[in-house]
Amino acid sequence: MKHKIAVFASGHGTNFVAINDAVQKGDIPATIELLVCDQPGAAVIERAKKAGVRTLVVSRKDYPSKAAFEQVIADSCRQHDVDYIFLAGYMRILGKVMLAAYPHRIINIHPSLLPSFTGLDAIGQAFEKGVKITGVTIHYVDEGMDTGPIIAQAAVPVEDDDTVETLEVRIHDTEHRIYPYTIAKLLGE
């Protein structure tokens, strides 16, 4: 059985590409029905269009409230019969409207070994703290910031000669492997 999924992203879209590639190869039993982006002009929009994926670009400032903003997104996901939502660099905290519309069916990827280094710039936070191991976490989304139940994690060592940039490259490489694999496993169960 193929699931219908939506991917939410705000930036370059490299995790979107990794997910889409795995879908196209048949590794993930799904179709990407919708890309949701909150940043008009983000590179992920062009990547989705090139892949033939419908896009919904919505800017929070165009709505009177977070609830109204999220209602448009939830309605669009329902209109496309979306079963699961995968956040892939989506830089907004989801609120009650989205969480109620898709309970236990919204998954996020975060560039640290949660519960350490939540929120923005997790790679920079880990580097500044001087940890020797950081990594990637895939988790269910709940009301908190990066606090939902953990689904999978992968460790990434911090090398002595690392810079934030070299560490970021290795973390992104890990994300691009672990996220499609975990989505395939989750949807195949």
Segment 9-15 mean pLDDT: 96
Domains held by the chain: number: 1
- Is the pTM of the predicted complex or chain greater than 0.85? yes
Tell me the per-residue pLDDT of 108-119, one tens digit each, with 9 for 90 and over: 999 999 999 999
Name the token pair of 20.
């889409």
What are the φ/ψ torsions at residue 131 (nearest 5 degrees)?
-65, 155
β-bridge partners, 30: 3
- Which residue in 136, 146, 119 sits closest to 177, CA to CA? 136
Tell me: pLDDT of 1 over 90: no
Segment 12-29 mean pLDDT: 97
Tell me the per-residue pLDDT of 74-117, one tens digit each, with 9 for 90 and over: 999 999 999 999 999 999 999 999 999 999 999 999 999 999 99
Tell me: pLDDT of 173 over 70: yes
Distances (CA, A) of 187 to 24, 48, 75, 106, 179: 15, 21, 22, 12, 12
Task: With beta carbons less than 8 A apart as the criterion, state whether 126 and 156 touch.
Answer: no
Residues present in the chain in total: 189
Task: With beta carbons less than 8 A apart as the criterion, state whether 59 and 16 touch.
Answer: no
Tell me: pLDDT of 2 over 70: yes
Instruction: Tell me which DSSP letter residue 110 carries.
Output: E
Q: What is the pLDDT of residue 189?
A: 64
Q: If you average pLDDT over every residue of the chain, what do you get?
A: 97
- How many degrees, rounded to 5, is the angle at CA 122 between CA 176 and CA 127? 100
Tell me the per-residue pLDDT of 175-186, one tens digit each, with 9 for 90 and over: 999 999 999 999
Verify whether residue 139 is a known catalytic residue.
no
Tell me the C-alpha distance between 27 and 25, whole Å.
6
Tell me: pLDDT of 127 over 90: yes
Segment 160-177 mean pLDDT: 97
User: Residue 71 belongs to a domain with what CATH number?
Assistant: 3.40.50.170
Q: Which of 110, 139, 172, 176 is catalytic?
A: 110
Segment 140-145 mean pLDDT: 95
Task: With beta carbons less than 8 A apart as the criterion, state whether 23 and 52 touch.
Answer: no
Segment 16-25 mean pLDDT: 98
Task: With beta carbons less than 8 A apart as the criterion, state whether 14 and 176 touch.
Answer: yes
- Which H, E and C letters describe 120-141, residue by residue? CCHHHHHHHHCCCEEEEEEEEC
Which range marks the domain in which residue 93 is found? 3-188
